[in-house]
Structure 1
């Protein structure tokens, strides 16, 4: 697993060693369901590349974007 992020106002991705998510229980359940759905799709679709939380049935444009991507190369 690798974690990347962006600083507000900056387009560059930076590698992160830790993340903190401040969230309400209902939103956390939506994020967990989104992660689970992505894992299931990865297992059955070899061409699956990535999914945006905001584009999913669980997403909301008012949240920071979460993008799940298939790991390629060494972790």
Structure 2
């Protein structure tokens, strides 16, 4: 089971590799997925979910972790 520390580790690893095209999916339940990728040219995390027409750019790992936990609150336990 994932928690905030696990999410932070995943995002830090994505940023460390600094490669476009790496995408991590987070399950929010009921078939809803949050797709997160790192855009090194902009130094931003890009969140997307075509099912709910979500596209968001987040600059810091802390803010990204907060958004992921909020989006997937039913799937994560602290």
TM-score, normalisation: structure 1: 0.32
Tell me: higher relative CO, structure 1 or 2? Use CA pairs within 8 A at least 6 residues apart.
2
The structure that has the greater radius of gyration is 1
Looking at secondary structure, tell me which structure has more strand per residue. 2
Looking at secondary structure, tell me which structure has more helix per residue. 2
